[in-house]
Amino acid sequence: MEEFLTQVMPFVKNHTLLVGAWVAVLVATIYTFTKSALSKVKLVSNSEATALINNQNAVLIDLRSIDEFKRGHIVNSLQFLPTDIKNHNIGKLEQHKDTPVILVDATGVVARASAEILAKQGFNHVYALNEGIAGWNAANLPLVK
């Protein structure tokens, strides 16, 4: 062990930027895995979302703009903006706190953050569609206009 330390210390001194970058990547990775493990929100695939819709009457929330929503959305989706959820302006969605709620956006990025907010607002079963409408569309799953 002592021999190892005598080799490591000069390396660290000569490559502090590289070592610092590796430590930052390690910390970021641990943080990301811990955050996702402790999250109340689950990312679901297209098939898992379909099963939730068919078996548990999941409510779909489309977070895209009204224009994007009109161009094509998943059947029976409700359209809300992320700002509506952030400002707790969710009206008719309040009655679905014990029903599975699946949030959908264009690519799956915005949905997760909005889903976290809904979970903090007391929704018990909150999901975010992985890859959003883009993934749904790529799988040739139906959209309505």
Conformation bin of residue 81: beta by default, left when phi > 0, alpha when psi is -120 to 50: beta
DSSP 8-state secondary structure symbol assigned to residue 73? B
Pairwise CA distance, residues 58 & 54, whole Å: 8
Mean pLDDT for all residues in the chain: 90
User: Whole-structure pTM over 0.85, yes or no?
Assistant: no
Contact 64/51 with Cβ under 8 angstroms?
Answer: no
Per residue in 3-43, pLDDT (tens digit) is 888 888 888 889 999 999 999 999 999 988 887 777 788 89
Decide if pLDDT at 87 tops 80.
yes
